[in-house]
Amino acid sequence: MQFIIFEDEKINGLQPLNLLKGSFDINVGIYSIFDSIYNRYGKKHTFTVICRQELEEYQKQIKPDVNVNDISVEETLFINGRVHLINLKEVVKKLPSDTVLFENDDLIFAKLSENNVLNFKNEFDKKNHVELVKKLSLNVIESEDFAETYIRYENCWDTVRYFKEMLNVQLEELLMQKRKNRKKKEKKINASDKNNIYIGKKVKISPEVVIENTDTFVYIDDEAVIEPFTYITGPVYIGKKATVKAGSRIYGPCSIGYTAKVSGEISHSIFNPYSNKQHDGFAGHSYISEFVNLGADTVTSNLKNNYSKIKIKKGDHKIDSDMQFLGSLIGEHTKTGINTMLNTGTIIGIFANIAGGGFPDKEIGSFSWHISGRDLERYRLKDSIDTAKIVMARRGIQMTKEYENLVTHVYNTFGK
């Protein structure tokens, strides 16, 4: 069987988190929608991604074993890249061929026989999936029958809305994999429920660390470092080679990605790989992308004083998030200066710089220099790339030409 994870025409709602990656590559817990499927079926089945043209070369580089924008003709399960199928195993096993599921005209998934894949392939990129299904006379099933089997991401703040649920699902999957061959740990840890804790290889946990995880999961991956006087309450994932600095307070749900370095108070937040928050300050209900650096005492407000639902600024419009708690959503390579205060529902693009104290705007575009007391300036492309190369090299990563071309495309298209 072939698995196809595709981007549809509604991916703009996920900006800025998908400006430098496929929408299916956005972290929804510990890993992305793509990884959650590929980790389970990638070794035994054909995998294809359908993405924006500007992403094609970069996707080929980072997914060498995956077809990019090239559909094979075989029995296929199409999965919307904005949709996480919680019960994917049942969908794969029990869903009959030539069956599709829609919700509000969004194609959620479709399982097609080889004959219909050829017809689907020829017109799939026209985006009018509803008309295509009618044309092929496929069996349409009701979304109510699958309402609790998937999560659909429409806006970038949905990463925070559904984070706890997704983190619990992925933590349980990881723990189930490890429990089969689990060995007793000689290292003593100060934890309330050691049965729901996994500690990887070469992990360094200070004796002064306290883990409170009754009825929740805590997963500390290989070579992570937890410094003294840290308090952790689950559910929490701490990634490989990540560092939690001394005196930190981690209130789950939280996900700290590969080599990320964090400190201070963190609650209900995703810190992606290579992100950096090495000083005090509060981060709550926030999404921090790769290579973001939060300066000392940067704080995110995640609750309004009147406890009302948080509105998102999008140009001249305000969108009701229908969320009482929402902090900041920050794109790749963005940096904040010391004492930066970010308001509830702040959305910041990629390669932005915010400094000078006070509350900046709740909407900050990509490649913006937002310095308090100064006029807004645009980051020069060469300077932004040169700095990114230095930052990436510090984590042992060399910027590829494909990545640089993608950054250039975004700069010319979305920078403000």
50: tokens are: 């359908």
β-strand partners of 50:
6
SS3 per-residue string spanning the chain: CEEEEECCCCHHHHCCCCCCCCHHHCECCCCEHHHHHHHHHCCCCEEEEECCHHHHHHHHHHCCCCEECCCCCCCEEEEECCEEECCHHHHHHHCCCCEEEEECCEEEEEEECHHHHHHHHHHHHHCCHHHHHHHHCCEEECHHHHCCCEEECCCCCHHHHCHHHHHHHHHHHHHHHHHCCCCCCCCCCEECCHHHEEECCCCEECCCCEEECCCCCEEECCCCEECCCCEEECCEEECCCCEECCCCEEEEEEEECCCCEECCEEEEEEECCCCEECCCCEEECCEECCCCEECCCCEECCECCCCCCCEEEECCEEEECCCCECCEEECCCCEECCCCEECCCEEECCCCEEECCCCCCCEECCCEEEECCCCCEECCHHHHHHHHHHHHHHCCCCCCHHHHHHHHHHHHHHCC
Residue 256, phi-psi category: left (phi > 0), alpha (psi -120 to 50), beta (remainder): beta
Among 46, 48, 36, 129, smallest CA distance to 84 is for 36
Specify whether the CB–CB gap between 182 and 175 falls below 8 A.
no
Give pLDDT, residue 186. 44
- The whole-model pTM stands at 0.93
Residue 364, Cβ density class (10 Å: 0-12 exposed, 13-18 middle, ≥19 buried): buried
| pLDDT at res. 92 | 77
> Going residue by residue through the chain (416 aa), what tens digit of pLDDT does each one get?
899 999 988 999 999 999 999 999 999 999 999 999 999 888 889 999 999 999 999 999 999 999 999 988 898 999 999 999 887 877 777 788 888 888 887 888 888 888 888 777 766 665 566 667 666 677 887 666 666 788 999 999 999 999 999 999 999 888 877 765 555 454 567 666 667 889 999 999 999 999 988 788 999 999 999 999 999 999 999 999 999 999 999 999 999 999 999 999 999 999 999 999 999 999 999 999 999 999 999 999 999 999 999 999 888 889 999 999 999 999 999 999 999 999 999 999 999 999 987 789 999 999 999 888 788 889 999 999 999 999 999 999 999 999 999 999 999 997 55
* Cα distance between residue 11 and residue 106, in whole Å: 11
Domain 2-154 homologous superfamily, CATH: Spore Coat Polysaccharide Biosynthesis Protein SpsA; Chain A (3.90.550.10)
Question: How do 377-378 and 368-371 pair as beta strands?
Answer: antiparallel
Buried b (16+ CB within 10 A) or exposed e, 270-296: bbbbbbbbeeebbbbbbbbbbbbbbbb
For CA atoms 268, 269, 270, 274, the dihedral sign is negative
pLDDT 10s digits, 35-57? 999 998 888 899 999 999 999 99
- pLDDT on residue 184: 47
CA–CA dist 320, 326 (Å, integer): 12
- Contact status, residue 47 vs residue 69, Cβ threshold 8 Å: no
Comparing C-alpha atoms, which of 321, 322, 266, 273 is closest to residue 299? Answer: 266
CATH of domain 161-414: 2.160.10.10
Cα–Cα nearest to 256, from 234, 240, 280? 240
Q: At what angle do helices 114-123 and 129-136 cross, to 10 degrees?
A: 140
What are the domain boundaries of the chain? 2-154, 161-414
